[in-house]
Amino acid sequence: MPKTRKVTITLPVELLESMKKHTDNVSGYLAELAERAERRRLLREELDHYQSEFGAFTDQEMAEAQALLHGTDGIERAA
C-alpha cells in the first residue's frame, strides 16, 4: 500500500454531500481523482514535448488516436 499523509482540505458543502452519496471513502475518491489529473498532466507534458520536437500532430494522426482511444471510426472523418 502506498505511503500516505493526512492533510486538511476545504470543500463546498454541496460538493462534499454529493460525493458522500456516491462513496463512503471520500479520501480514496479524491485520491483517485487527483491521480487521474496527475496522469493527464504528465501525458499532456509528454505530448507537448513530442510535438515541440517533431511538429504538431496531423489531422490523420489525431483521427487515428481518436479511433484507438474511443473505438470510433475517426479515420474516415479526417479524410
Q: Judge whether 34 lies within some domain.
A: yes
Q: Residue 35: helix, strand or coil by DSSP?
A: helix
The whole-number average pLDDT for the span 6-10 is 95
Q: Judge whether 5 lies within some domain.
A: no
pLDDT of residue 7: 93
Q: Judge whether 70 lies within some domain.
A: yes
Q: Which residue type sits at 55?
A: G
Q: Judge whether 55 lies within some domain.
A: yes
Is the pLDDT reported for residue 75 higher than 60? Answer: no
58 grid coordinates = 496531423
Q: Judge whether 22 lies within some domain.
A: yes
pLDDT of residue 71: 87
Q: Judge whether 8 lies within some domain.
A: no
The whole-number average pLDDT for the span 29-40 is 96
Q: Structurally, how many domains does the chain consist of?
A: 1
* Long-range contacts (CB closer than 8 Å, 24 or more residues apart) made by 2-8: none
Please give the model's pTM, rounded to 2 decimal places.
0.69
Domain range for 62: 13-78
pLDDT band for position 56 (cuts 50, 70, 90): very high
- Sign of torsion, CA 32 36 37 41? positive
